[in-house]
Amino acid sequence: MSYDEIRRIKEVYSGYDSSASVQARRNAANPGNLRAEAERAVGIGKVLGEHQLLPLTDRIVLDLGCGRGNVLASLTRYGARSQNLLGWDLLPDRVEAARRAYPDIRFECGNAEHLPFEDSHFDLIMTFTVFSSILDGGMRRNVAQEVRRVLRPGGAVLWFDFRYNNPQNPHTRGMNMQNIRSLFPGFESHLRTIGLLPPLARRFGPLTPLLYPLFATLRPLRTHYLGLLVKPKENTDA
C-alpha cells in the first residue's frame, strides 16, 4: 500500500479543513458554487438516463471517495435504494459526518487500494475528484485496478474530475483523456466537459444566472469531465 501517499492525502485534507481561505472558496451559499452544483446534478441525471441506467432501483452502487455523503445520497432521487448504496472514504471524519447525515446509508472508511468486495460486485461506481487527488502514480493505478475488479462486466464508472492542473493547488493533478484511458483500458468512454473555471464562477455574484451559462459555452473554461466509463461485458481483468 502507498503509505506515504495516504499520509500526504490526509495532511492535505486536514489543511483544507483548517484553512479559512479554502472554506471561503467552498462557501455553499456562493452563487457560482450553487450553479456548478446544480449543473452537475442535472448532468448526472442526464448521463444516467442516456445510458438506460434509470431508475437505479436495483443497482448496487459504490461511491469511492464519498466525502460527507451528499452526492451518494442524492441518487435516491433517481430511484436508488439506500440499502444498495455504499460510501467509501479514506478520511474517518468524513465517514463519521456521512453516517450522521445519512443513517440509512452504509459508509465505511479504508484505503481503496484494497476493497473487501468480491469481483464484479457493483453495477455502478462513482469516482468524484478521486484520481486528481492522488499524486502517486502507483496508488492511482492500484485504485483503478480495484475499481475494475469489483465492477461487474457491463457496469459503469460514473466519473467526475478535473481535466486541468490547478496552478494554485499543487495537491491535485488534472485527469485528461489519455490519463483516464490508461487507468481504464478497454472501457467505453462517454465523457463530456462540464463546469466553469471555479475562481471565475465565484466572482459573478448576483450576475451568475446571466454570466455563468454565457462563459460556460467556451470549452476551454469548462474544467471537469463528467460521464460514464463502461466496462466491457467480457471481463478482461480475470
Q: What is the DSSP string of 90-124?
A: S-HHHHHHHHHH-TTSEEEE--TTS--S-TT-EEE
Query: Could you tell me which residues come within 8 angstroms of residue 186 by beta carbon, excluding any fewer than 6 positions away?
Result: 231, 232, 236
Domain spanning 52-197+218-230: which superfamily? Vaccinia Virus protein VP39 (3.40.50.150)
Look at 33-37, 168-172, 231-235 and tell me which has the smallest mean pLDDT.
231-235
Question: CA 182, CA 93: separation in Å to the nearest integer?
Answer: 32
Taking only the tens place, the pLDDT of each residue in 76-127 is 999 999 999 999 999 999 999 999 999 999 999 999 999 999 999 999 999 9
Taking only the tens place, the pLDDT of each residue in 209-224 is 999 999 999 999 999 9
Q: How confident is the model at residue 1 (pLDDT cuts 50, 70, 90)?
A: low
pTM over 0.85: yes
Strand order in the sheet with 224-230: 106-109, 85-89, 61-64, 122-128, 151-162, 224-230, 188-194
Task: Dihedral sign for Cα 139, 137, 91, 7, please.
Answer: positive
Question: CA 154, CA 120: separation in Å to the nearest integer?
Answer: 10
Domain locations along the chain: 52-197+218-230
